[in-house]
A and B are shown apart, each in its own frame.
Chain A
Amino acid sequence: MKRDHPIRWSNLYLLLVFIVLYLPIIYLIIYSFNAGDTMDRITGFSWRHYLTLFADTRMISIVLNTVIIAVLSALLATIIGTFGALGIDQLKKRSLQNGILSLNNVLMVSPDVIIGASFLIFFTFLGVKLGFGSVLLSHIAFSVPIVVLMVLPKIKDMSQTMIDAAYDLGATKWQTLTRVILPAITPGIFAGYFMAFTYSLDDFAVTFFVTGNGFSTLSVEIYSRARQGIDLEVNALSTLMFLVSLLLVGGYYLLNRYNEKKKIHRAKASQEVDDA
């Protein structure tokens, strides 16, 4: 194949990108096994930070909170954002579209501290009890724009003819949406979901302001610990979370492959039926 040559160079490039992306994470993981207490030199191997972590029920509970918030807020933000993107696309006037998109992006440009402070004022004004609910609402709020940004290009790329064809064939609005539009933009929806999930996991400033009544997330906990110096227990935790995510990603991939195989199988089978 003539593709052989450039591909090898490109593999090297990709390898480099991946090495850089994972470098700090590998660093963190190595130090999670450090017998010492700091991240500057390794004094020996030890499981001790993992044992501390498992004994720390407060930390484990915080991790669960964090994951619940991230998974759930990303889901709701994706739903709202996807429909929002569909709506924006349907607007006739280009200037109106751009106007709404600008509003959409306000939360992305506003520094977290401003968002957090104004949400706090807003929630206390409405009398919302601070805690799980207010954190969830805020995370949904700041994740919606990224979903719209991820989904909208997909919608724009979708050919109108396909939709028109669906209508011509007598499909209802709902059918067109679920059978034609949504499948076509699914990659965008997934991308949006993952980005929303990422935003939620990473957020500190907004969560800090709107949380209360003992509810805490991992970022808030880690930042608050910075004054005393971050424990390697947190490294141990990150290592575990990283491994779990890796497993999930691997599992997702295997499941996908299995499904695809089944699909091909089924397609073949139905073809045979047709032939008969």
Chain B
Amino acid sequence: MKSKTAYLTPYFLWIALFVIAPMALILYQSFFSITGHFTFGNYEQYLSSGVYLKMTVNSIWYAFIITVLALLVSYPTAYLINHLKNKQLWLLLIILPTWINLLLKTYAFIGLFSQNGSINDFLRFVGLGSHQILFTDASFIFVATYIEIPFMILPIFNALDELNPSLVNASRDLGASAWQTFRRVIFPLTMPGVKAGVQAVFIPSLSLFMITRLIGGNRVITLGTAIEEHFLVTQNWGMGSTIGVILILAMFVVMFLTRDRKNKGGQIR
């Protein structure tokens, strides 16, 4: 028992210091008005004003689209990479682009998407004329998905990598088609990876900011943008914290929905 807890100490210390303590702080602050008085007003305002509710619905909707798209692109990518010869190398090459500063990459996207940008140049060249690409939902979703894809590919790749090839072979030998094998064997067995990916993408997508302004032109307002504003511009930490509390609650819901449903008896272990 003693040795078991010994190596857990840093982790629980981390939870206590950097999760529970800040969370308590946020909760505490969410009960203070901008003038520093104790109040439930922030929650009241959140629930009664259409602006915040609309923003919440927007955030969830966009995060959902981004997660689905990221999953649709990432699963085949991870699958194919897993079949390549030097798969670890290719995986590293997927992660590499994330090491370049996000703001810079966003600026590059602005350069590509703008009226006189490379994409419109190309469209004009092939005779399609120029289009407004920036500040549309499509460009915002594209860039957000772009950012999140590596975070989705990695866990899925790991799950696929772990997959025992003999199970796939067995399924094929038993006469299952490629699609059946995928649906009945491969996909269910890589579910933990998919779940990890969804958690790593959906949750942060709820609180995207910056690119909502740079690429979305502030036409897409997410909860993250609002928090950013309350903390940095209005200095209304109370309202910012209130939205923060709501985000944390949303996260608990997502965790609950993607939790491991299998009970212990059903597992091979």
Tell me the A residues contacting B by CB distance below 8 Å. Answer: 7, 10-11, 13-14, 17-18, 20-25, 27-28, 31, 39-40, 79-81, 83-84, 86-87, 90, 94, 97-98, 100-111, 113-115, 117-119, 121-122, 140-142, 144, 146, 149-150, 152-154, 156-157, 159-161, 173, 187-188, 191, 194-195, 197-198, 201-202, 204, 218-219, 222-223, 226, 230, 234-235, 238, 241-242, 245-246, 249, 252-253, 256
Contacts and interface: CB of A to CB of B under 8 A. Distances in A.
Contact of B103 (A104, A140, A223, A253): A223
Contacts of A13: 76-77, 80
B220 interface: no
A118 B22 contact: yes
A222 B104 CA distance: 8
B168 interface: no
Listed from nearest, the 6 A-B pairs whose CB atoms lie closest are A84-B11, A24-B108, A109-B251, A118-B22, A141-B18, A160-B269
A153 B158 contact: yes
Interface residues of B, number: 93
Interface stretch (B36-44, B122-130, B133-141, B260-268): B260-268
Interface of B: 3-4, 7-8, 10-12, 14-15, 17-23, 25-26, 73, 76-77, 80-81, 83-84, 86, 88-89, 92-105, 107-109, 111-112, 114, 116, 118, 146, 149-151, 154-155, 158-159, 161-162, 192-193, 196, 199-200, 203-204, 206-207, 209, 223-224, 227-228, 231-232, 237, 240-241, 244, 247-248, 250-252, 255-256, 259-260, 263-264, 268-269
Contact of B200 (A18, A90, A101, A108): A108
7 contacts: A25-B100, A87-B8, A90-B4, A110-B248, A119-B18, A122-B21, A140-B14
B107 A230 contact: yes
